[in-house]
């Protein structure tokens, strides 16, 4: 298959004195070569937790307790320590909200790029150094060759995130995980960084998991979108379909609170209430306390699942009938 990443029934649990919390609950998605999958939802929906599970960076005591993660046909959810570290460096690039978490403040950026390439690619130091300059140039760092000896603090936030993107891509990974890559940046810089990430990954055929709370970013960038709510997938589909005709009432609410500049569309409706805490998960559909369409069945177990369809809802919003010419 074309899938670079396959997540199958992935479950992450946190044992606590009050019981077991389940921040990620049986989620499924694939990301194909050259595809950008947007993962969207409110803070605490489990988006980052799922991403961190893929790269083996869950904070204890959170751990994977069910399901499988496959990367290029290899099962990776049971890798540990050095095996995971090597796989991460070679096959998965990471771009986080704060560029400084990905950069070593004590190392010149040219050295960081060069060392990363030497560790994962079979090339000479000389060649790696040349490629480092080219990589900085490609992400739009002016006078790139002269900036190889600069330290991270010598760049602005936006330029630093460009350096992080160069670093994430320099070992030629097949997957990039970008977790709120523009959230800390000035609005004027955000669109440039997103466009850069999109262009570079398209050119290389890199698969991208783009995690964000911002449906606007998803609408502009992603090919498909997975909407997460309270640890589960609420909706999964082509971005155009989901944005124009959301099926799940939660997605509809998210869209309602997102101004979509490109569509000249601005709905003012907001979803009332807030996402349930993991310690107080409602029975049945976790969205029912906030849902204007909730019926008795929505409050009863089992919780609705995607089951290969587009939305995990007993009463998905009807799509408009196909127009016939
Ligand atoms: Fe609303 Fe029921 Fe659908 Fe949940 S299952 S989103 S409560 S209609
Ligand atoms: Mg997060």
pLDDT digits (tens, 9 = 90+) for 176-224: 999 999 988 988 899 999 999 999 999 999 999 999 999 989 999 999 9
Helix 81-91 to helix 109-120 angle, to the nearest 10 degrees? 110
Token output for 285:
């559909």
The rounded distance, in Å, linking the Cα atoms of 160 and 198 is 17
* Best probe residue, ligand 1, of 228, 272, 294 (max atoms within 8 Å of C-beta): 294
Pairing of strands 175-179, 207-212: parallel
Q: Is the CB of 293 under 6 A from ligand 1?
A: yes
283 three-class SS: coil
Q: Is the CB of 317 under 6 A from ligand 1?
A: no
**Hey, whose CA ends up nearest to atom 5 of ligand 1?**
313
* Best probe residue, ligand 1, of 250, 276, 306, 314 (max atoms within 8 Å of C-beta): 314
Going by C-alpha positions, the residue among 242, 233, 180, 171 that lies closest to residue 48 is 180
285 Cα: distance to centroid of ligand 1 (angstroms): 6
Pick out the chain residues at pLDDT < 50.
Answer: 261-268, 325
pTM assigned to the model: 0.92
| Model pLDDT, residue 1 | 53
| Model pLDDT, residue 98 | 87
| Model pLDDT, residue 262 | 46
**What ligand has the least distance to the C-alpha of 271?**
1
The rounded distance, in Å, linking the Cα atoms of 320 and 318 is 6
Residue count (the chain)? 325
> What does residue 200 show for φ and ψ, rounded to 5 degrees?
-65, -40
Q: Which residues pair with 232 in a beta bridge?
A: 229
94 Cα: distance to centroid of ligand 2 (angstroms): 14
The rounded distance, in Å, linking the Cα atoms of 224 and 174 is 18
Q: Is the CB of 314 under 6 A from ligand 1?
A: yes
Token output for 76:
């990776």
In the 8-state DSSP scheme, what is residue 269? -
Q: Is the CB of 288 under 6 A from ligand 1?
A: yes
**How much is the CA Rg of the chain, to the nearest whole Å?**
21
| Model pLDDT, residue 324 | 53
145 Cα: distance to centroid of ligand 2 (angstroms): 34
Residue 255 host element (H or E) = helix 249-256
Q: Which residues pair with 27 in a beta bridge?
A: 10
pLDDT in tens, 272-301: 889 999 999 999 999 999 999 999 999 999
**What ligand has the least distance to the C-alpha of 23?**
2
| Model pLDDT, residue 273 | 87
Tokens 């950069």 correspond to 103
| Model pLDDT, residue 38 | 97
79 three-class SS: coil
The rounded distance, in Å, linking the Cα atoms of 252 and 317 is 9
Going by C-alpha positions, the residue among 237, 214, 215, 218 that lies closest to residue 226 is 237
Going by C-alpha positions, the residue among 311, 309, 296 that lies closest to residue 248 is 311
| Residue 285 alpha carbon, nearest atom of ligand 1 | 4
Tokens 């004027």 correspond to 188
Token output for 301:
């177990």
Q: Is the CB of 177 under 6 A from ligand 1?
A: no
CATH 3.30.70.100 fits 3-102+175-187+209-299, yes or no: no
11 Cα: distance to centroid of ligand 1 (angstroms): 22
The rounded distance, in Å, linking the Cα atoms of 203 and 201 is 5
252 Cα: distance to centroid of ligand 2 (angstroms): 21
The rounded distance, in Å, linking the Cα atoms of 163 and 135 is 9
The rounded distance, in Å, linking the Cα atoms of 254 and 45 is 13
* Best probe residue, ligand 1, of 235, 249, 309, 317 (max atoms within 8 Å of C-beta): 249
């Amino acid at each position: 298959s074309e899938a670079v990443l396959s997540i199958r029934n992935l479950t992450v649990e946190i044992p606590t004195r009050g019981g077991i919390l389940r921040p990620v609950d049986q989620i499924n998605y694939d990301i194909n070569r050259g595809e950008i999958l947007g993962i969207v939802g409110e803070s605490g929906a489990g988006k980052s937790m799922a991403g961190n599970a893929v790269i083996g960076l869950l904070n204890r005591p959170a751990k994977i307790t069910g399901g499988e993660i496959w990367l290029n046909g290899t099962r990776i959810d049971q890798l540990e320590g050095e095996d995971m570290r090597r796989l991460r460096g070679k096959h998965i690039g990471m771009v986080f909200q704060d560029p400084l978490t990905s950069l070593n403040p004590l190392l010149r950026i040219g050295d960081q790029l060069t060392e990363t390439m030497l560790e994962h690619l079979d090339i000479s130091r000389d060649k790696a150094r040349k490629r480092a300059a080219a990589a900085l140039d490609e992400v739009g760092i002016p006078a790139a060759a002269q900036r190889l000896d600069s330290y991270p603090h010598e760049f602005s936030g936006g330029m630093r995130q460009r350096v992080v993107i160069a670093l994430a891509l320099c070992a030629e990974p097949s997957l990039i995980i970008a977790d709120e890559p523009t959230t800390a940046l000035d609005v004027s810089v955000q669109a440039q960084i997103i466009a850069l990430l999109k262009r570079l990954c398209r050119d290389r055929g890199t698969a991208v998991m783009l995690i964000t709370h911002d449906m606007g970013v998803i609408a502009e960038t992603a090919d498909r979108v997975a909407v997460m709510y309270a640890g589960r997938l609420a909706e999964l589909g082509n971005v155009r379909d989901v944005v124009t005709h959301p099926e799940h009432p939660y997605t509809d609410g998210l869209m309602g609170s997102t101004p979509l500049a490109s569509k000249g569309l601005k709905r003012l409706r907001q979803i009332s209430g807030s996402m349930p805490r993991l310690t107080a998960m409602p029975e049945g559909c976790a969205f029912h306390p906030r849902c204007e369409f909730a019926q008795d069945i929505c409050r009863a177990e089992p919780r609705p699942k995607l089951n290969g369809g587009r939305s995990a809802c007993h009463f998905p919003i009807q799509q408009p009938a196909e127009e016939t010419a």
